[in-house]
Amino acid sequence: MKSRVEMQQFLISEVQKQFEAQKISVVELAEILYMISKADDSEEFVLILDLFKDKFDVFFAILDSLKAEDIETFEEVITKIIPLIIKDDPLLASQISSRATQSGVTMESLVNEFPDIKKYLN
């Protein structure tokens, strides 16, 4: 996940585009800037975006972008560790690969289901 600062910079850039295109008002711009200034870390930032995504379309777009980035990172990690796991336990590698391709699977859920995966994640 991106850092809070990176996410804020991206959001400000997107909000600026929407403001210049007159898709959001000065009041909405002020609300957005105030809300994002209250986030102390990336988790709070994402929570704020999620809570107000129905009010501000730009929040929804940024959440989609973050999800796509998380999926890409997940896929990169899986692609790197599967060859390592195959050397030690081909059956486990097959099970992890199969599970990783299912919808909604996260690295956290894989680690919970296959605790041995932890030793390959460094």
What's the mean per-residue pLDDT of the chain?
89
**pLDDT tens digits along 46-100:** 899 999 999 888 888 888 888 888 888 899 999 999 999 999 999 999 999 999 9
Q: Quickly state the pLDDT bin for 41 (edges 50, 70, 90).
A: confident
Q: What is the pLDDT of residue 86?
A: 96
C-alpha pair distances (Å), 42 with each of 8, 16, 92, 116: 9, 21, 33, 28
First vs last Cα of the chain: how many Å apart? 17
Domain boundaries defined on the chain: 4-69, 70-120
Question: pLDDT at position 81, please?
Answer: 95
In this model, does residue 8 exceed pLDDT 90? no
The larger pLDDT score, comparing residue 1 to residue 111, is at: 111
Q: What is the pTM of this model?
A: 0.65
- The pLDDT of residue 110 is 93
* Residues 97-119, mean pLDDT to the nearest whole number: 92
